[in-house]
Amino acid sequence: MLTRQMILDYAAERYGVPPDFPWAKHPAYAVLRHRAAHRRWFRC
């Protein structure tokens, strides 16, 4: 079973996309933003 951390690690290693935590109200919510495609977000 994949864990949240495994997905975040994979995105960082494979695509160079570090997690971003843009919501102060929900500090555990992460967003993965693909830098080449500004409209693509992946929420974890």
Residues 39 and 26: their CA atoms lie apart, in Å, by: 22
Predicted local distance difference test score (pLDDT) of residue 36: 67
User: What's the confidence (pLDDT) of residue 13?
Assistant: 92
At position 5, the amino acid (one-letter code) is Q
Task: Please give the pLDDT value at position 44.
Answer: 55
pTM for the predicted model, two decimal places: 0.66
Return the amino acid letter for 43. Answer: R
DSSP percent split of the chain into helix, strand, coil, nearest 5: 25, 15, 55
Structure-block tokens of residue 43:
């929420």
Q: What is the pLDDT of residues 1-44, one digit of tens each?
A: 999 999 999 989 988 888 989 999 999 999 887 766 666 666 55
Measured in degrees and rounded to the nearest 5, phi and psi for residue 13 equal -75, -45
Helices and strands (H, E) in the chain, number of each type: 1, 2
pLDDT of residue 15: 84
